[in-house]
Amino acid sequence: MTVRIQVTYFGNVQGVGFRWNVIQIASSYSVTGYVKNLACGNVEMIVEGNRKEVFLMVGEVEGKLKDYWHSKETEERRGDPHFENFQVLHH
């Protein structure tokens, strides 16, 4: 089953290599989507793909970067992927 997870991380997530680390982690999984800084100081991440891969990747991001975020909002949807790869987007 293909899913799409949108996660917004709140905390000290900009200017600390958060997006770079997410890209490195994503390269180990068969997922598509993006990570980007938001103007309000948070980071948004969309991860699409096989449910298991998506949740493993999100779990690794959250574990490895736990010192930078203190809370998050998550939304999950089913459906076909919208992206061809995983990338950093700039606002």
The whole-angstrom separation of Cα 48 and Cα 15 is 25
Residue 49, judged by CB atoms within 10 A of its CB (0-12, 13-18, 19+), counts as buried
- 37 part of the active site: yes
Query: 21 catalytic, yes or no?
Result: no
In terms of DSSP bridges, do strands 31-37 and 86-89 run parallel, antiparallel, or are they unpaired? parallel
Catalytic residue among 4, 12, 19, 21: 19
Annotated catalytic residue: which of 37, 42, 77, 78? 37
Q: Which amino acids are annotated catalytic?
A: 19, 37
